[in-house]
Structure formats: structure tokens, C-alpha cells
A and B are shown apart, each in its own frame.
Chain A
Amino acid sequence: GAGVSQSPSNKVTEKGKDVELRCDPISGHTALYWYRQRLGQGLEFLIYFQGNSAPDKSGLPSDRFSAERTGESVSTLTIQRTQQEDSAVYLCASSPRALSSYEQYFGPGTRLTVT
């Protein structure tokens, strides 16, 4: 079946604007994860969903960041009033369940550039 998909693949926005990033996980995967990766750096964990619930939102960098998931499927990461420091690749991953033994399958990412 299809893998994890993300849209848009690239997004250029002006500082201060809001952006929405979308993730479509693998069908049937109940766990969904969001990460941020700045250029040349490792992955920064943002948030995960088990079903439509996010048990822990403490990884979100600021209150400008929010995420939701509906229908145990698509998830949206919203960044309000974008800042230049938000420029990064935002990666989404899914796994069959939010248990540690399950491998995460990553999408291709959305490259966000804030000018």
C-alpha cells in the first residue's frame, strides 16, 4: 500500500503568516508522530498521537504550534505567526501502535522556509 504522504512538499511563507502542514499516515496505523529537523541537525520530537489523542504536547516549541488528528487518519500541524527560526523540514511518521517496539515509517517531509 501507499506510504506516509505529506503536503505540501515545499512551503515558502512570509514571517508572521500562518501555515498548515498535512500528514496522511499509512492506512491502519494508529500512531502518528511529528518531528522537526533543522538543516544539518538531528530530529526534534514535537508530538505524537495515539488515535486522535495527543497524550503529551510538551515537545511543541511554543504556543504558536498546534496539531490535531481526525478520524484516526490525517493530521495537521499548524504554525501561527511564523518566525524565521521555524524554517526546517517537518517530518511525519506513523506506526501500527504507539508502542516502542514498532518501527516508524517516515514521510518525505515538508520543507518550510520563512522569509
Chain B
Amino acid sequence: GQNIDQPTEMTATEGAIVQINCTYQTSGFNGLFWYQQHAGEAPTFLSYNVLDGLEEKGRFSSFLSRSKGYSYLLLKELQMKDSASYLCAVDFNKFYFGSGTKLNVKP
């Protein structure tokens, strides 16, 4: 792998904002993906960052800093249905996934 690290688990409250970080120790990759995976289901695409900076898509935003070796996924106005695992993946034409961050949203 490419030493992709994510926190194992996070808990946040409905309506709040949460930031899920992904750090990596590699360079020269094409871009970085974020996927959402509900328990027992297949992953679904959230975002893909090529350039440094923030990409916003509704309640979800993703940020990439190649020079600092990290990305984050920002979820706003959390809803109960956002409880899921969030996977970051580095794209080298092969794809290296982190182990995922399990997000628990509480009322």
C-alpha cells in the first residue's frame, strides 16, 4: 500500500459538522477519491480531487493538499443517514484504499 491513514471511528451529532482526515505518504499520484460505504453495502462515489483545494458538493466537501500529504472530507448538517464508513483512496492507476473511518451520527 501507500501508507494511507484514516481515523478508525468518529462520532458526531445530528446537525453538526464533521471533518474526516486522510493522510498519505506518497507522491506522484493522479488524484484522491472519497467513497461512502454503508454497512453491508458496496461503496458509492463521493468525490475526486486532482488539484489542491476544496471541492464542494452540497453538504459534502473534499479538500486536497499534495504538499502537506493530506485530504479531508467535510460533512455539514449531519443527518442520521450519514452514519457509514468513509474511505479515501489514492489513484496511481491502481487504487490504494485506506481502512476507512466509521462515522456514527447520534441524535
Interface residues in chain A, defined as those with a beta carbon under 8 Å from any beta carbon in chain B: 33, 35, 41-45, 48, 56, 59, 91, 98, 100-101, 103-109
How many of chain B's residues touch chain A, expressed as a range?
20 to 34
Q: When A48-B94, A98-B93, A100-B91 are in contact, do A42 and B45 touch as well, CB less than 8 Å? A: no
- Which of B64-72, B73-81, B95-103 is the contact stretch? B95-103
Instruction: Say what secondary structure dominates the interface of chain B.
Output: strand
**Selected contact of B42 from candidates A41, A48, A101, A106, CB within 8 Å:** A106
Instruction: Say what secondary structure dominates the interface of chain A.
Output: loop
**Selected contact of B97 from candidates A43, A56, A101, CB within 8 Å:** A43
**Selected contact of B87 from candidates A33, A43, A45, CB within 8 Å:** A43
Interface residues in chain B, defined as those with a beta carbon under 8 Å from any beta carbon in chain A: 30-31, 33, 41-45, 48, 50, 87, 89, 91, 93-100
Q: When A100-B30, A101-B50, A103-B48 are in contact, do A45 and B42 touch as well, CB less than 8 Å? A: no
Q: When A100-B30, A109-B42 are in contact, do A45 and B97 touch as well, CB less than 8 Å? A: yes
Contacts of B43 in A (CB 8 A): 43, 91, 106
Chain A: which residue is nearest B47 at the CB level? A103
Contacts of A104 in B (CB 8 A): 45, 95
B95 touches A108 (CB 8 A): no
A101 touches B94 (CB 8 A): no
Contacts of B44 in A (CB 8 A): 106
